[in-house]
Amino acid sequence: VEKSNKKISGEVIKRLPRYYRYLGDLKKSGLTKISSTELSRRMNVTPSQIRQDLNCFGGFGQQGYGYNIENLYNSIGKILGLDSTVDTVIIGAGNLGSALANYKGFESRGFKLIGIFDTSSEKIGTIIADCEVLPLQDLEDFCKKNMPKIAMITVPKGAASEVAEYAAKCGIKGFLNFTYTDVTVPEGVAVENMHISDHLMMLSYKTQNM
């Protein structure tokens, strides 16, 4: 998808979903085109940054005109891999796991929950968001059949590393880690952390120092 074989920086990747979100809103508002200057005003960034970021992937704009909103929206979606459905599973059917399973927003953005796994006999067999909770040991077979790409880990802190290692062996390629610990994964597997406590702590710091 990249323009050249130059490595795209992590900072740029981080900003893509935000562009995607703003463009989605713009599309919904009925506008058809936007300039980097106008978008920068709305997003509170510099126009230069927007043009630099987008040009990592291609020339989506047109001089003297700006960017076609729908086209740019679709292009970024494609870069992010959202042009086809991304199958996900949840490991850990506790409070947070269930809440995520029941959240309808992911599906509308291209992510489809196809399985929930747990080790507790109390949870196995129950139905959450139209998915039967399966025993964790079934993940390997499940992955062979269904090839989910991403797993959200919502197990207790102590179990996280073991679970991630096992799931990576089963073929999971990306982890969204909600536990209060870092997980290490093999080469070629990605992790994004949703360390809620960490962000609460940053907020605590900021509320003291603003």
Strand partners for 151: 89, 175
Binders of a copy of itself in range 89-148 (CB under 8 A): 95-96, 98-100, 102-103, 105-106, 109-111
Nearer to DNA, 67 or 73 (CB): 67
Total residues contacting a copy of itself (rule CB under 8 A)?
60
Instruction: Name which of a copy of itself, DNA, none residue 79 binds, using a CB cut-off of 5 to 8 Å depending on partner kind.
Output: a copy of itself
Q: In whole angstroms, give the CA distance from residue 89 to residue 44.
A: 35
Instruction: Name which of DNA, a copy of itself, none residue 35 binds, using a CB cut-off of 5 to 8 Å depending on partner kind.
Output: DNA
* 146 part of the interface to DNA, by CB under 7 A: no
How would you class 197 by CB atoms within 10 Å of its CB: exposed for 0-12, middle for 13-18, buried for 19 or more? exposed
Q: In whole angstroms, give the CA distance from residue 152 to residue 102.
A: 13
Binders of a copy of itself in range 151-170 (CB under 8 A): 157
Coil vs helix vs strand at 132: strand
Nearer to a copy of itself, 65 or 169 (CB): 169
Of the chain, the end-to-end C-alpha distance in Å amounts to 41
Nearest CA to 49 out of 17, 16, 72 is that of 16
For the CB of residue 33, give the shortest distance to DNA in the complex, in Å. 9
* 103 part of the interface to DNA, by CB under 7 A: no
Which of 55, 85, 184, 204 forms a contact with DNA (CB under 7 A)? 55
Q: Which stretch binds a copy of itself (CB under 8 A): 48-56, 65-73, 138-146, 201-209?
A: 201-209
Chain-centre distance for alpha carbon 121: 30
